[in-house]
Structure 1
Amino acid sequence: MTQDLLAMNQPGLGEKELMNMSFLERWLQWHSAKPVAAILITVPLILMGILGGIMIASITFRNLVNFSARFENMDVVDKLAMFVGLAIGLLLSVVFVPIIASQAGDAYPFLGIVVFVAVMYASVWIAMNIKDELKAYFPGLARSKDMGVQEFQKPKILDTNVIIDGRIADICRTGFIEGTIYIPSFVLEELRHIADSPDFLRRARGRRGLDILNQMQKELNLVIKEFESVDPSDEKEVDEKLVKAAKDIGASIVTNDFNLNKVAALHGVTVLNVNELANALKPVVLPGEEMTVSIIKEGKETNQGIAYLDDGTMVVVEGAKKLIGETVDVVVTSVLQTVAGKMIFANLKAVQEEEDELIDRNIRTYSSVRPRKKAK
């Protein structure tokens, strides 16, 4: 451009004068000297600028929407760390940007923006990554006036099995589960995959789980959460992702899966097992109590019949093999607690009464025939 202006011998414009002119002034001089060439260059540049602006605006808007959704689901500690990082970034920018401006010259506007964005990003990134380390050195940061309440109401993460099971909805509705309830996006994706299964039973289980989630989302404090530390495209098992997500946010896992229970315990993650809760809430049955049950099948041992209580507890009745399909009165003889649950052993009430009567008769007979000691 400078050579073109010199070649045109513009009056009053020497090489030194042109070199001292700003880029905009030289552009205007060249535009007035060669309008056709300037238009041929300016129009494509304007079109490229418009297209680039539309693309950048679209990407920026989409990222802002995603950030807004993620920000709402962020923990309080993460939000606090982000604001601290922004404040530190602003302070550093006030210090460094003027220094760079004094050295940058004409490139100050572009370079100043780059430095400002870089400093802000680095400050936020560092603050988000050292928040856990700061808690170790400054325990007071992890405390608050209602620390006990926060500890008691730590967030809960539901796994796929407990959602399909369905009892968790009733438990949450009664108020026994407090705090925010999270559904990880990869758990929701697994439910959708099960609901689309060609197998009828799996498809029914998946759709039941989705229906329960919809019901819980309407009635309870349920949040569908994306976990930044867990890559949704990762091919790891869902159980491993659940444990990692729970460790990252300090949450408890609610499940009825025995294997997940063991894996989470090995990683130091608190587990709330619905099956253990159900066993704990079963009524206590003591030997000697009477109950009415329906014999539905044979037992493993000779002459045994099997019945079930309303809560699913198995009752093994001696001498009831021939009474399948009948409702009988039984007397509890013993209770066995196993890992799988509780088993009750019982005798038929009529048989038990005969045995008790026989024992009483024997005791009376023994007492009557026992010789008495002679008085001295």
Structure 2
Amino acid sequence: MLISFAIAQPLINAFVHGTRFLEARLSDVPLRGLVSGTLGLMAGLVVSLLIIPAVKTLPLIGAYMPLFIMLVLGYLGASMGYRWRDALVALPDTLIAHMSKRPERKPRKEVAKGAGDLAADFLPGTRPKVLDTSVIIDGRIVDIARSGFLEGPLIITPYVLDELRHIADSADALKRNRGRRGLDVLNDLRECGVQVVTLNKDYPEIVEVDAKLVMLAKDLQGCVVTNDYNLNKVASFQNVEVLNVNELAGAIKTVVLPGETMRVEVVGRGKGAHQGVGYLDDGTMIVVEGGRDRVGETLDVVVTSVIQTNAGRMIFVRLED
């Protein structure tokens, strides 16, 4: 009796811990994943029942093969069902839509092949635009959308939301503020009148978030919106269109040529002995020769040169008089 109790107690503890671990893992799985995984498991078990009678008669290993086959095919069925969860969940709606389609109408062209029923959520004639974490934290996407130069749908993914949440919970104050600003930007986007779609489509075989965004944009036949240099290069290499906010900002900067005149307000002193500093409306720095002692004044100046640096563009001017 004591021996049985000593053996049973560790087994019970292991069973309880295993059950709690399984419950914790399943609580993070979305409902569609549970449904599709269960259907896949049932399909795998049905196939195993068809195979077991043929292998039970094998010598030596015949007695062990049924359990082995059920475990392997059950696992494969559950895994494949979870991987194809979007297509399985969307299958009834697709069949109903196909059966109710009028014969005299031409079938609509599928906008996003391989993306389940996602095309039905998008406006006809528009291209989905997948937002990455950097462009959301940057915040300029809100002004671009509000001005009407960027139409929807704008795609937000759960893994981008997870990145923003981790940044917002960071112990570093700077990162924490950037993450919270990104979450505020998402709320501002929904108030701009642009279609914003939270798309729960994952690629479990891909680890990096940037690679998932590129694959999603390719599946949706859309484009990636970013200001990340590396993501820009990777997406371009895979023939995925990229909308780079930094390139847009550089393209709309005011064009000035040497010899042109302008008016500029001197707002501070420059690094040079006689230099003052001003700015254009787009943030371009203007270095005013002879403006060091004219802070606070609005002066008529003449452009002498324009220099492009890694930090941006600088315009050098001198006083017109």
Deviations 1:277-325 (A, max 9, x none): 22222333343222122142323x5543332223210112223344456
Compared CA separation, residues 339 and 150, structure 1 to 2 (3 A): farther
Deviations 1:108-147 (A, max 9, x none): xxxxxxxxxx9xx99xx7xx7xxxxxxxxxxxx99689xx
Residue of structure 1 equivalent to 2:233: 262
2:216 equivalent to 1:229: no
Match of 2:32 among 56, 66, 70: 66
Tell me by how many angstroms 1:190 deviates. 0.6
Counterparts of 2:34 and 2:148, CA distance in 1? 30
Compared CA separation, residues 173 and 231, structure 1 to 2 (3 A): farther
Deviations 1:10-34 (A, max 9, x none): xxxxxxxxxxxxxxxxxxxxxxxxx
Compared CA separation, residues 189 and 176, structure 1 to 2 (3 A): same
Residue of structure 2 equivalent to 1:294: 266
Counterparts of 1:69 and 1:337, CA distance in 2? 57
2:300 equivalent to 1:329: yes
Tell me by how many angstroms 1:166 deviates. 1.5
Asked if structure 1 preserves the Cα contact closer than 8 Å seen for 2:301 and 2:318, the reply is yes
Residue of structure 2 equivalent to 1:281: 252
TM-score, normalised to structure 1, is 0.50
Q: SS state of the match for residue 187, structure 2?
A: helix
Q: SS state of the match for residue 190, structure 2?
A: helix
Residue of structure 2 equivalent to 1:166: 139
Tell me by how many angstroms 1:348 deviates. 1.2
2:312 equivalent to 1:346: no
Instruction: Please show how residues 144-293 of structure 1 align to structure 2 within 5 Å.
Output: 153-218=126-191, 219-230=193-204, 234=207, 236=208, 238-286=209-257, 287-293=259-265
Compared CA separation, residues 208 and 186, structure 1 to 2 (3 A): same
Counterparts of 2:204 and 2:263, CA distance in 1? 51
Deviations 1:309-363 (A, max 9, x none): 232101122233444565433222333455654322211122xxxxxxxxxxxxx
Compared CA separation, residues 261 and 285, structure 1 to 2 (3 A): same
Residue of structure 2 equivalent to 1:319: 290
Q: SS state of the match for residue 204, structure 1?
A: helix
Instruction: Please show how residues 129-144 of structure 1 align to structure 2 within 5 Å.
Output: none
Asked if structure 2 preserves the Cα contact closer than 8 Å seen for 1:293 and 1:309, the reply is no
Compared CA separation, residues 338 and 271, structure 1 to 2 (3 A): farther
Asked if structure 2 preserves the Cα contact closer than 8 Å seen for 1:168 and 1:274, the reply is yes
Tell me by how many angstroms 1:177 deviates. 1.5
Asked if structure 2 preserves the Cα contact closer than 8 Å seen for 1:309 and 1:315, the reply is yes
Asked if structure 2 preserves the Cα contact closer than 8 Å seen for 1:184 and 1:224, the reply is yes
Asked if structure 1 preserves the Cα contact closer than 8 Å seen for 2:267 and 2:278, the reply is yes
Tell me by how many angstroms 1:188 deviates. 0.5
Counterparts of 1:66 and 1:217, CA distance in 2? 26
TM-score, normalised to structure 2, is 0.57
Tell me by how many angstroms 1:220 deviates. 2.7
Deviations 1:77-112 (A, max 9, x none): xxxxxxxxxxxxxxxxxxxxxxx9xxxxxxxxxxxx
Unaligned runs of 5+ in 1: 1-58, 71-99, 101-117, 129-140, 351-376
What letter matches 1:207 in structure 2?
R
Asked if structure 2 preserves the Cα contact closer than 8 Å seen for 1:230 and 1:245, the reply is no
Asked if structure 1 preserves the Cα contact closer than 8 Å seen for 2:151 and 2:194, the reply is no
Compared CA separation, residues 231 and 213, structure 1 to 2 (3 A): farther
Counterparts of 2:34 and 2:194, CA distance in 1? 22
Counterparts of 1:257 and 1:264, CA distance in 2? 11
Tell me by how many angstroms 1:171 deviates. 1.4
Compared CA separation, residues 312 and 249, structure 1 to 2 (3 A): same
Counterparts of 1:144 and 1:231, CA distance in 2? 25
Instruction: Please show how residues 36-185 of structure 1 align to structure 2 within 5 Å.
Output: 65-66=31-32, 153-185=126-158
Task: Number of aligned residue pairs: give it.
Answer: 231
Q: SS state of the match for residue 254, structure 2?
A: coil
